[in-house]
Amino acid sequence: MLANKLLAASGGVDTLFVDDVFSAFTYTGTGVARSIVNGIDLAGKGGLVWSKDRSTAEFHNLADTARGATNTIYSNDSRASFVSVNGLTAFNANGYAVGTEGEVNRVNDQLVSWTFRRAPKFFDIVTYTGNGTSNRAISHALGIAPGMLWSKSTSTTGNWNVFHRSATGDLVLNTTAAQTGSRAIMVAASDTTFTVSGVANTNGVTYVAHLYAHDPSAEGIIQCGSAVSTGAGFNVNLGWEPQLVLQKRIDFAGGWQIADTARSMGVSSGGLLQPQSSASEISSASNTINANGFYSGSDGTNIYLAIRRPNKPPTLGTQVYNAIARSGNSTITNITGVGFAPDMAIVTPRSSVPSMQGFTIDRLRGVDRVLYTSGINGEVAGAGFFPAPFMGMNGITIGSDGGGNGINTSGITVLNSFFKRAPGVFDVVAYSGTGANSTQAHNLQIAPELWIIKKRNEALAWVVGSTGILATRFLTLNESDGVSTNATMWNSTFPSSTVFSLGTNVRVNEGAGYNYVAYLFATKAGISKVGSYTGNGSSQTINAGFTTGARFILIKRTESTGDWYVWDTVRGIVAGNDPHLSLNTTAAEVTTDDSIDPHTSGFIVNQLAATNINVSAGTYIYLSFA
């Protein structure tokens, strides 16, 4: 089963999911000793923490469990390992701890860490003492040939010597140099050993080696490869969407580059850092990602290391959905307490103000890019709605005036609904149109049952497909209309577990130069439910397969007109009046009717003229989260 391969790891048999062995984690420095909780077991399994200040020119700080938490080395420097008592201070079962050192915790600076846990077919650490012999073979525990490995002398000054499976010569991590003519230092690697010579095996010198696997299997979560550009960049098909790409041009001098989705690598610009340089982060669009891999604008011959996006199936609804209701304060604010790193949010004003509209944001499209749910507008970017650092590990950053939309004006109440991409539940896909019948890959791992698409760079209506209506029909998110028939929307084909189908309709698939975003939802037992029902004219229980009731409910009437109504437990799903919003309008929240009641299996719908969500013989689709 995809991403569910059993591997023998330290401590016993382990199910290898990306979420358990890798974390790209952003945070704001406090200058006070603290723990960074990223969910990676370093105390029990071992691993590496690589930290970098994004705001200030600072060293790349690397600490690993083989040498001890306080023993620091820099990727952008040749000095030996040294003790830093205020840098990284401890490895924990759910992350690590840092002290007051500015490199890892400078007050108010934005920082990032990349944590690699030791695991077969992913990452290993080896320490050794040089013996001066040529072509020395050293054992490792990856269980597969390394795709990339770095060796660094820890007792003396020396470069970071790099082996990459796709390079014919040696490379150096702490310089911009092109590869050498042949491998003479990091010579070879196999499933069980790697071979070193020369300065990577000087007699009496101690070394540490970090080994990164290459696993191109369907279950693999890391790949190391190469690509050649002829002047227009290049595309890499990994078979999955990456969350991190480390890259270097090797036929010409040039810096190493590292980008990740935690720092807004997506389909627009994101943050770039260079492992050989202390420079602060720059914004760049040189690396963008898609559902199958990534694009790079680099020239020449390039090598890369790519790590798959999080792929661990959720076990609780709270891991993939949460909502926070708040009042504006007219200041730049970090909204926290989501409980996970959100990938998409629906932000909906609860007051009726002419300039205020609800909209979506998502990590994939990048910083400060919104799409209004109640209108046909194209994507609005750079208005100050959500400035950097944008989407963090536990919430979002909102601008002082919400980009003039008023969503953070003092006293205005707003609902923020957060969703996390997860197998079997929810996915986001950004794509470019082709103008021809085609399919687009997704990473939901099962067939979507509800899909919502918006053209980003032109004013056209939202389009919604559902397995609750025919594959030749669609709904419109920004309107109250019932279903319409158009075989060119989905090419008369329902989605599969790997792709969704597009016809030639311009709302979903106009030719080159037109960009789209798709939000895909599916049913996962006990967590989410996409369903349909027929009204009975009074009250009925909608069994969503939950045990503690629905926390989020979206309902749309399909055979006739009806709003896209939203209820949630943050504002109240009770045995009385329940506040609701309509995604397709700018109307204020309605608090005066009892259309919904709670039920442990899902929810109860009551027929009231105010919403008409249970009209006799009426047909409805719904989306709910436990």
Question: Using alpha carbons only, what angle is made at residue 322 by residues 320 and 324, rounded to the nearest 5 degrees?
Answer: 155
pLDDT tens profile 235-280: 999 999 999 999 999 999 999 999 999 999 999 878 999 999 999 9
pLDDT tens per residue, range 125-145: 999 999 999 999 999 999 999
Q: What is the pLDDT of residue 601?
A: 98
Q: In one letter, which amino acid is 104?
A: V
In tens, the pLDDT along 537-553 reads: 999 999 999 999 999 99
Q: CA 25, CA 51: separation in Å to the nearest integer?
A: 9
First CA to last CA distance, the chain: 25
pLDDT tens, position by position, 489-499: 999 999 999 99
d(CA 76, CA 261): 22
* Residue 411 pLDDT class (50, 70, 90 cuts): confident
Residues 6 or more apart whose Cβ sits within 8 Å of residue 566: 346, 348, 417, 552, 553, 554, 580, 581, 582, 583
The DSSP secondary-structure symbol of 403 reads G
In sequence order, the 6+-apart residues with CB closer than 8 A to the CB of 232 are: none
Residue with tokens 């969703």: 419
Residue 35 CB contacts under 8 Å (≥ 6 apart), including other chains = 92, 95, 96, 97, 98
Query: How far from 27 is each of 36, 109, 291, CA to CA, in Å?
Result: 9, 8, 26
Which DSSP string do the residues of 236-284 spell out, in sequence order? Answer: EE-SS-EEEEEEEE-SS----EEEEGGGT-SSS-EEEB-TT--PPPEEE
Reading the block at residue 344, the tokens are 């998409």
Q: What is the DSSP secondary structure assignment for residue 539, as one 8-state letter?
A: E
* Phi-psi map region of 167: left, alpha, beta (phi>0 left; psi -120 to 50 alpha): beta
Q: In 3D, which of 286, 245, 246, 240 has the Cα closest to residue 267?
A: 286
pLDDT in tens, 191-246: 999 999 999 999 999 999 999 999 999 999 999 999 999 889 999 999 999 999 99
- In what order do the strands lie in the sheet containing 171-172? 123-129, 206-213, 146-153, 160-164, 171-172
Structure tokens, 546:
């939950």
pLDDT tens-digit profile of 592-607?
999 999 999 999 999 9
**597 forms bridges with which residues in the sheet?**
604
The torsion of the CA quartet 235, 291, 518, 424, rounded to 10 degrees, works out to: 180
Please count the helices (runs of H) and the strands (runs of E) in the chain: 5, 52
Over the stretch 425-446, which tens digit does the pLDDT of each residue have? 999 999 999 999 999 999 999 9
Whole-angstrom distance, CA of residue 558 vs CA of residue 481: 8
- Calculate mean pLDDT across residues 299-324: 98
Residue 112 has a CB neighbour count (10 Å cut-off) of: 21
- Any idea what DSSP says for residue 471? T
Exposed, middle or buried by CB within 10 Å (0-12, 13-18, 19+), for 97? middle
pLDDT at 479 over 60: yes
pLDDT digits (tens, 9 = 90+) for 328-370: 999 999 999 999 999 999 999 998 766 678 999 999 999 989 9
User: DSSP label at 198?
Assistant: G
Half-sphere exposure of 281 (CA within 13 A, CB side): 25
- Predicted confidence band at 11 (pLDDT cuts at 50, 70, 90)? very low
Element (H, E) at 323: strand 321-327
Question: 3-state DSSP call for residue 507?
Answer: helix
Q: Which of 286, 219, 220 is nearest to 258 (CA)?
A: 286
Distance of alpha carbon 389 from alpha carbon 110, whole angstroms: 8
Q: How would you label 263-285 residue by residue, b for 16+ Cβ within 10 Å and e otherwise?
A: bbbbbbbbbbbbbbbbebbeeee
Distances from the Cα of 512 to the Cα of 91, 151, 395, 429, angstroms: 49, 45, 34, 17
* pTM of the entire predicted model: 0.95
- Maximal CA-CA distance, the chain: 86
| pLDDT number for residue 173 | 98
Which residue spans within 18-130 are E strands per DSSP?
22-28, 34-37, 47-53, 61-64, 71-74, 82-83, 88-92, 95-98, 110-117, 123-129
Phi, psi of 404 (to 5 degrees): 80, 0
